[in-house]
Structures are given as structure tokens and as C-alpha cells.
Structure 1
Amino acid sequence: MYKTIAFNGKFFGAGPTGVHKVAEQLIAATDALISEQAADDVDYALVVRNSVKVPSYRKIMCVQENPLARRMHRIIWEQCYLPLARRKDFILNLCNLGPLCHRDSATMIHDAQVYSAPDSYSLGFRLWYRFLFFFIGRRHRLIVTVSEFSRNELVRYGVASADKIVVVHNGCDHVLQVRPDDSKRAALGLAPKRYVLALANTQKHKNIGILLKAFAKPEMKDITLVLFGSAKQADFEEAGHAVPANVKFTGWVSDAELVGLMASAGALAFPSLTEGFGLPPLEAMALGCPVVAAPFGALPEVCGNAALYADPFDADAWSRQMITALDDCAVRQSLISTGRRQAGTFTWKQAARNLFDAVRAVTPAYPR
């Protein structure tokens, strides 16, 4: 019988990423879920390596390891110390990786892009992740992923068998709890509804280059492309892209600034060639921002009929669809209303419930 369900908190204290955001939201939603249930004889813990500030939880206790563990390299801590310290527990790993030697584990693998989009990652990164995925998929009791598309990809690339993988869609309702900050939009001089928002990411599969080509077209000269994130103009130019004059870069943005930008944007453009889930389009929909996406990866599964779609290799198609999203009032209102409904079906409470239903199935001692 498992004494404790332990969340692997290695990601706390690391730089913010989309995967880390998902893990934080799932842990918070799980805490709320188990707080509603009757008392049981299983404890819940979030095990972190560093003395970092973590949210306060009602039922999940935070365990910060001893000074020796804090000095360990992150990989050593996860692969050696964590499974030894938690050898009697069931470990939940929510950020792709987990300790190989701890069989009583469930690991959330968000996508198979180290296989399907190898050019987006360094050789060392690809080899390390493929090595770990190979053993995690075979040794851990449960593999969780975020879409049917990702499940099929993980099976296709031999990470795990289909009967071992459970889909737990992400939620997006966290953005509704964030108070918008319009300071970034004001600083960039952006007119509401006259700019398109997209990721500032040079990874090949994110395909932002097609947007740069679309915004170089004459019909787009009065619309601004706003790229949010860490990549700068020089990064895109070094990658061989020409950056038109009507493109602006925000640099790093806080959650509140991003919500402010999404709420005032004319549209969010998401031209990825593959995507394990695609959280930004749902976040935009929840905030009433129309979405133009590529019909690739999990995007059709996640966005449904609430987005406009464009061929990810056709710049003309992107310019047409973005102009439609901004200037066709009937289409725009339809996208906003259907987008809100679509986003409303993806909640963190439901994600937490699905996750723990899956955990119950592989841990019979877990109370029902």
C-alpha cells in the first residue's frame, strides 16, 4: 500500500516554460480536488529540490530536501536521490521526465517532438530525451499525455504501448483568474484589435517564418505582428528570416501582460507544424481573442471548429485568414463566441479528475 502520492517538484525553481505551467496548474487543481473528498489514509506531497517559494496547498504538503540534496545536480537528484528518498511512494512526474529506476511512477510526456521535429532540438537534447523516454515508457506503470494526437505519436515512435497511455487534456481557465496588465501593449503603441499575436520562437516546428512572410505582403502593412517571448529580432535574422517593419517583439512577458495582450489582440496566430496540445490558442479563445491555426498536430483536436485554419506553408492563406479574423465582423463574432465555448470545455478541475482516475487504475491501494 502506498503511504504517499508524491509529485516530482524538480521543475520548481527552473525557468518558466509551458510544461512547467501545466504542472503547476495540475498540482493546484489536484489539491483542490482532494480537499473536496472525504479523509483517506494516503498522504500527498510535493517534493522539491531547492528552498524555493512554492504555492500554499491545503492537502499537499511541501517537502524541501536536505542541504546535501540541494547541492546535487538536477539530473542526479531526480534519477538517484528522489527514487531512494521516496522508494515506498508512488511518484507523479508531470514534466516529461522521471526517475528510471522507480517503477511505481506515472509520467506525463507532453509530446513526441524529439522524434517528429528533430531539427528543433540539439543533438544532445534529442539523445537524452529519447534515451529516457525509451525506459520510462517501459518501466513506469502509467504514461499520461495531453492529447489523442500525442498518444498516437508516442505509440508510433515506440515510446509505450497504447494500452499504457492515458490522455489528460490541459485546462485553460487559469487565464480567467489573471488581472490583465495593458502596460506592455501601451509601451509598444499597439492599437486594440489591429495586431496579431504569435510566439517569438525560432524552433523550426513552430513555423513562425510563415507569419513573417505573410506580414511582408502589401495587404498586411497596416496590421502589426507582435511576437511574445524570449527570442529577439536578431535571433530570427540569424536563423535566415527576413523580419518586416510591421513586426514588434515584446521580450519576456508576465502572465498578466500576456493576458492583456491577448484580450486586446485582433487574433492569435499559431502556425505550428506539430503540437502536442497547443495551450496558447485555448487561452486566447477563453479571453475572446480569435485564433488562426495550422491544421496540424493536436491543434484541430484542441481548437475544433472554433478557429480559422490556414495551410502552414502558404503565406497568402495566412494573410487572408488573418484579415478575415480582424475585419469580417460576422466571422469575428462567430470565432469569439465559439472560441469561448470551446475553451470552456477544458478546465483544470476536469484535468485533475482525469489524472487521478488514471492513477487509481494503476494503484489499487489508492482509496476510491
Structure 2
Amino acid sequence: MEIFINGKYLTQPVSGVQRYAFELTKGLIAKGSNVKILVPNFFDIKSTEINDRFFVSTGDFKNTNLWEQVHLPLFFRKRKSSLLINLCNTGPVLIKNQIVCLHDIAFFKNPQWYSRAFYLYYKFLIPLIVRNSKHIVTVSEFSKDEITGRFRFAANKISVIYNAPAKIFTIPADKLILKKDDFFLFVGSFDPRKNLITLLKAFESDKLKKFKLIVVGKRSASFRDQKLIIPDNVTILDNCNDEDLSVLYKHASGLINCSIYEGFGLPLVEAMSSGCPLVLSDIPVFREIAGDRASYFDPISSDSIVHAIKSLADKKPEDLNSDIQHNHTLSSRFSWADSSTELFSLTYKLLPQADRHLNHPI
């Protein structure tokens, strides 16, 4: 049996979802599994660090949704026993022998956050994919509970495979920078669920006038636009590469994540592995990831955000250092090597017995 990965994500701007797909793709390749990446003909296969020999260019659709829903089923028409892995929420409705990673169901929970076209497409597509797929993957126990509650299928049809920090954000324990600079950090898109409006309102407060905030992120067409008023003590970086972001994580007084809803929260584990303190929305998935060594707040209340930031700023150095070291150790629970192994094991179990030796790890 051949194993293919849906490479649609490689044509998209990089966010946490695309990073997840890219890291797991690299992990499966590193394990020596017999895997190929399907991409549209227009995609430049030399634009990634993955070797050309792992790509199959096929289909002339410029619209990647049409490529996924029309061309991929045609490609698999003579490959009915082949397995397709989809790592970024969507997959072809007409293919049943596939794994789909559904990161969360925020579009069902809060449709007002999304453009109408995006919401209607996902509302139609996702239930069909979930029903037709051989197995569902998601990124947290929280999302697993949400998805099984919504679609009501057997628990053994869904697996949790965590996100993880990239190597560039992971530093040895003896290299942690404990003396921090005088700025806080926000990392994420301007998606309404990230709740940036409330965070900016908090930084307008007289109580935070002496604090600086650096916002790393940009707008996305998938989400409803929102007018942001940027206070004088806030800087927006909309073109920050991983090298620069790694420096910001190491030196920031804290990462602030004020999301109302998340399936995971990749910046949390990036910050933890970089030695950056945490100031977080008190939502279930953040408790799952970060435990009790963060300053939590009510994301709806700018006053609560102000209080949490000031509480972190006023912590005794020895208590803050203890939190940094504890969370750095905790971040080792999340690794792309482990997540790749889990995905490989799942794929291996879904293969017919006769094909397993062809996909056995080196």
C-alpha cells in the first residue's frame, strides 16, 4: 500500500496548523516510511527543505480547494488501497481510506469569528469528512472531547497527537536566560478568538503604561476583520521570522496568550521551551498544556489581564525562576519526534498486514 500526504498546506501561509503538518511530514520521512507528498503542479517543490524525491506533483487546479476535492479523488481512483494523510483540518470528501487531523471545531462553536464563506464551507465539509474517514487525529484531549461530543463516534476512532516546539525554540536548561527584558510578547494571528482587542485595551490602562508589548502576527482572510487601536506602548511585528522570534521568547518578561478558545496553543510550548514565563487565559486547553505554573486571567476582562501581568511583574525573582525552570522541564512532554512516532504507529496499524513491512521504520 502507498501512503500519501495531502500537501495542500504547503501552498498556504504558515501558522500553527501548517507548522504541525510540516513537522509531522518531516518526521514520517525521517522514520523511513514509504510516504509521498501530493502537491498541485503549480507548487515549487524546491521551495521547502524536503527532498524533491518525496513529492508527487499532480493536477492543474489553481484553486487548492478544488484540487483537494476534485483532483485528489481522481488521483486515488486507481489507488483505492492507498492511504491519504490530511494534517490541516480538511481532506477530500470522496476518499474514505484516509486520516484527517481536525485541530478544533471553533467554527461550530463561534461562527461569528469567521468569514461567512469560510464558515459555510467548513460547516458543510467537516461533518462529511469526519463520517467518511478511517481515523481522526486531533491536537489535545480538550479537542478530542469537543469533537467526540459534537460528532458522537467511537472513542477508538480518534487519537491525540500533540503539537511541539521547533528545535530553534528549544534551549538547554543551563542556557536559560533568567533576567528578562522589559517587554511582554503576544504571538498569534489577528483571529478574533485570539482576543487581541481585549489585550490592547488592557495595555491602554494607566496601570500598564510603563510596560511594553510586542505583537507578532498578522491578519488572515479566513477571519472577520476587526479594527484594532494600537496604544503607544505596543509594537506590531507582522513579518517576524523564527530566528527573531526565538530571541523574543528568550528575553521577554512573559508570553501573554489571551485566547477565548483554542484547540492547542503552540506559542505556549514554544515559550516554555525557551524559558519564557506565561500569562494565560484560564481556558481548559491551556491548563492541559501548562498546568498551574502560569499567571491565569479571565480573557473577557481587561482588568483581569492587567492584574495577571502585574502579578507576574511583581513576583520574587526566585519564584519566577522556579516557574521558568519547571515549565521548561514540562515542555519536554511535547516533541516532534514523539508525535511523529505516534502518527507512524497509527498509520502502521491502519495498513493491511501484507503492506506493513514496506513501511517499517529504519
1:315 correspondence with 2:302: yes
1:78 correspondence with 2:68: yes
Q: Which structure 2 segments of 5+ residues have no match?
A: 172-178
For residue 282 of structure 2, give the secondary structure of its aligned residue in structure 1: coil
CA contact (8 A) 1:273 1:297 kept: no
1:38 aligns with none
Normalised by the size of structure 1, how large is the TM-score?
Answer: 0.85
Identify if the C-alpha distance between structure 1 residues 345 and 246 changes in structure 2 by more than 3 Å, giving closer, same or farther.
same
Letter in 2 for 1:47: L
1:174 aligns with 167
Identify if the C-alpha distance between structure 1 residues 360 and 120 changes in structure 2 by more than 3 Å, giving closer, same or farther.
same
Map Cα deviations across residues 289-333 of structure 1 (whole Å, 9 max, x no partner). 001111214111111223221111232322222223234213321
Letter in 1 for 2:15: T
For residue 38 of structure 2, give the secondary structure of its aligned residue in structure 1: strand
Paired residue for 1:51, among 41, 44, 47? 44
CA contact (8 A) 2:192 2:226 kept: no
Identify if the C-alpha distance between structure 1 residues 110 and 136 changes in structure 2 by more than 3 Å, giving closer, same or farther.
same
1:286 correspondence with 2:278: no
After the TM superposition, which residues 316-331 of structure 1 pair with which residues of structure 2 at under 5 Å, given as runs? 316-328=303-315, 329-331=317-319
For residue 210 of structure 1, give the secondary structure of its aligned residue in structure 2: helix
- 2-structure distance, mates of 1:13, 1:200: 20
1:333 aligns with 321
Deviates more, 1:337-346 or 1:352-361: 352-361
Paired residue for 1:361, among 312, 331, 349? 349
Paired residue for 1:345, among 327, 333, 348? 333
2:247 aligns with 260
2:134 aligns with 141
For residue 11 of structure 1, give the secondary structure of its aligned residue in structure 2: helix
Identify if the C-alpha distance between structure 1 residues 160 and 245 changes in structure 2 by more than 3 Å, giving closer, same or farther.
farther
1:225 correspondence with 2:213: yes
Deviates more, 1:272-281 or 1:161-170: 161-170
Structure 1 position 247, deviation (Å): 1.2
For residue 54 of structure 2, give the secondary structure of its aligned residue in structure 1: strand
Structure 1 position 93, deviation (Å): 0.4
Structure 1 position 231, deviation (Å): 4.2
2:175 aligns with none
Letter in 2 for 1:100: V
Paired residue for 1:28, among 23, 26, 29? 26
Letter in 2 for 1:20: Q
- 2-structure distance, mates of 1:361, 1:117: 35
CA contact (8 A) 2:28 2:35 kept: no
Give the superposed CA RMSD.
2.5
- 2-structure distance, mates of 1:354, 1:200: 27
Letter in 1 for 2:3: I
Map Cα deviations across residues 261-288 of structure 1 (whole Å, 9 max, x no partner). 1111110000111100000011011111
Map Cα deviations across residues 244-267 of structure 1 (whole Å, 9 max, x no partner). 221111122111121121111110
For residue 12 of structure 2, give the secondary structure of its aligned residue in structure 1: coil
CA contact (8 A) 2:164 2:336 kept: yes
Structure 1 position 133, deviation (Å): 0.8
- 1-structure distance, mates of 2:292, 2:99: 32
1:213 aligns with 201
Letter in 1 for 2:239: W
Identify if the C-alpha distance between structure 1 residues 359 and 250 changes in structure 2 by more than 3 Å, giving closer, same or farther.
same
Q: Which structure 1 segments of 5+ residues have no match?
A: 36-41, 179-190
Identify if the C-alpha distance between structure 1 residues 338 and 344 changes in structure 2 by more than 3 Å, giving closer, same or farther.
same
CA contact (8 A) 1:10 1:78 kept: yes
CA contact (8 A) 1:30 1:349 kept: no
After the TM superposition, which residues 103-142 of structure 1 pair with which residues of structure 2 at under 5 Å, given as runs? 103-142=96-135
1:300 correspondence with 2:287: yes
Normalised by the size of structure 2, how large is the TM-score?
Answer: 0.87
Identify if the C-alpha distance between structure 1 residues 83 and 147 changes in structure 2 by more than 3 Å, giving closer, same or farther.
same
Letter in 2 for 1:204: P
- 2-structure distance, mates of 1:105, 1:161: 17
- 1-structure distance, mates of 2:206, 2:240: 29
Letter in 2 for 1:63: V
1:61 aligns with 54
Structure 1 position 28, deviation (Å): 1.0
Aligned length: 340
